[in-house]
Amino acid sequence: MKEDCKKGHVRAPRQSTRRQRTFSGKKRAYAKKEVAKVYGGKKVDDVWMRRTNEELSELYGEPSITNVVRASRMRWLGHVSRLDASRPTNQVLTKGITGRRRRGRPRTEWLQAVEADLKKIEIKDWHKRTGNRKEWRTICNQAMGLLGS
């Protein structure tokens, strides 16, 4: 540490990131409490019960993180497929990566995961549909709402 300071390097203390993480967690918990106050409890057989986190998220419409990730993967697929064929990202998407793979069970490839998500919402001709940006955006929004977690 002293040697780095002599050279002019300055390191940020590690405690600040820990504090930020706990503070963001506290903010999230505070937000959940506020949402629970707004929507209140529910009455079951003349007894008031607290709402669960799942019930609250259904009420105020926050999408699950898995659906957000799936929709963003679909958005990226549309972006890459619209790129020029000479771009490296499009070449990896269309031609794939050659070479030897590791031993063991092959990992699920990114494109296979996205195609499985598209299959869940019954979209088969994604190659043609990615060309129309507005249509692809509605497909991605549909995926965020319809795909189960």
The whole model's pTM is what?
0.56
Give the type of residue at 36. A
Q: Splitting the chain (149 residues) into consecutive groups of 10 residues, what average pLDDT does each group show?
A: 52 51 62 72 84 77 76 90 88 81 82 88 87 89 69
pLDDT value of position 68: 80
CA 52 – CA 55 distance, rounded (Å): 5
pLDDT at position 124, please?
85
- SS3 category, 48: strand
Q: Angle at the Cα of 131 (from 129 to 133), degrees rounded to 5? A: 90
Instruction: Provide the pLDDT for residue 14.
Output: 52
The whole-number pLDDT of residue 148 equals: 52
Of the candidates 64, 65, 45, 41, the residue with the CA atom closest to the CA atom of residue 54:
64
Per-residue confidence (pLDDT) for residue 17, from 0 to 100: 52
- Residue 41 sits at φ, ψ, to 5 deg, of -85, -175
Domain coordinates in residue numbering, the chain: 30-62, 65-97+111-146
Element (H, E) at 101: none
In contact, 70 and 144? CB cutoff 8 Å: yes
Question: Pairing state of beta strands 42-44 and 47-49?
Answer: antiparallel
pLDDT score, position 21: 54
3-state secondary structure of 3: helix
CA-nearest of 121, 119, 139 to 75 is 139
